[in-house]
Structure 1
Amino acid sequence: MSLLELALVAVAGFAAGLVGFVTGLASIVSYPALLAVGIPPVAANVTNTVAMVAAGAGSVTNSASALAKDRRALVPQAAICVAGGAVGAAILLAAPAASFAAVVPVLIVIASVALLLQPRLREHAGDRTFPVLYPIGLFLVSVYGGYFGAGAGVMVLALNLICTSQSFWRASILKSFLLGLANLVAAIGFAFFGPVHWIAGLVMGVGAFAGGWCGPPVVRRVDQRYLRIAVALCGFGLAAWLAIR
Structure 2
Amino acid sequence: MMTGSHRYELSDESASQSPESLFERCHWLYALCREYFFRDHTREITSALFPSGNPANGTKLLELGCGPGLYACRFAKDFPQVTATGIDLSKRLIRRARARAANLQLQNCTFLVGDAQALSQLAHSVDAVIVSRLFLIVPDREAVLTEIFRVLRPGGRCFIAEPTSGIVSRLPLSAMWVLARMTASPWEKFREPQQVEVMRPGEFLKLVQGLPWASVDVRRDDWYQYAVCEKSEARINEQSWSAA
With structure 2 as the length reference, what TM-score do the two structures score? 0.29
Question: Which structure has the greater CA radius of gyration?
Answer: 2
**Looking at both structures, which has the greater relative contact order when contacts are Cα pairs under 8 Å and sequence separation is at least 6?**
1
With structure 1 as the length reference, what TM-score do the two structures score? 0.29
